[in-house]
Chain A
Amino acid sequence: GAVVSQHPSRVICKSGTSVKIECRSLDFQATTMFWYRQFPKQSLMLMATSNEGSKATYEQGVEKDKFLINHASLTLSTLTVTSAHPEDSSFYICSARPPTSTDTQYFGPGTRLTVL
């Protein structure tokens, strides 16, 4: 299957700092990427849809000013958690959708964020 990478795989930061997570589609150009969050023993919750060249679409209850998404190229989307707090600690996972498919997403390996 297609490969989607995330960097970093783990990050620990202090409360109040900002953290940037990168999501790269290695095999295809992705006009659409998705960002999910997963708390322990819970399922993935869609946070936002990242669209190349336009603003991200956020799900209800997700603060767009706190979770900044930039989809600057067809292979890269970034999620920046601004002014992180301990409650932002979670597993963040991105996915990328091939341009020729409407029902397939390839997921990255995830980024474990711990805010102290």
Chain B
Amino acid sequence: SQKIEQNSEALNIQEGKTATLTCNYTNYSPAYLQWYRQDPGRGPVFLLLIRENEKEKRKERLKVTFDTTLKQSLFHITASQPADSATYLCALDMDSSASKIIFGSGTRLSIRP
């Protein structure tokens, strides 16, 4: 079955630095991969989608890479701010025809001032 792992349960970095989160998957070749932000007690908020034929995508201070050979996606937040503190989830499509996605366990990011 598909397996998706976010290697760090928690990540604590200094404000202003670049935060890099990792998402690895096995036993599947997704057509796309997504990143979401989730604050405590709230639903996930969509951030970025990257397709299998794309290497990199950017949105403001966010950058996502997708390496289908390594079966890995990296999520970067540059010039991090305390307001970026949240849990970040990666998700990949498990059935494109049914629009079903499977989530990783998430990385809890804390940005200290």
Contacts and interface: CB of A to CB of B under 8 A. Distances in A.
A44 B46 contact: no
Chain A interface residue number, banded: 20 to 34
A100 to B, nearest CB: 12
Nearest to A45: B103
A4 B45 CA distance: 11
A46 B77 CA distance: 27
A43 B101 CA distance: 12
Contacts of B96: 102-103
Contacts of B44: 44, 93, 107
A97 B45 CA distance: 14
Interface string B48-81: 0100000000000000000000000000000000
Interface stretch (A13-21, A64-72, A80-88, A108-116): A108-116
A97 B49 CA distance: 15
Contacts of A95: 43
A44 B103 contact: yes
Interface of B: 31-32, 34, 36, 41-46, 49, 89, 93, 96-106
Interface of A: 1, 4, 6, 32, 34, 42-46, 49, 57, 91, 93, 95, 97, 102-110, 112
Instruction: Kindly list the 6 A-B residue pairs having the minimum CB-CB distance in the complex, ordered from nearest.
Output: A107-B43, A43-B103, A43-B105, A44-B103, A110-B43, A93-B43
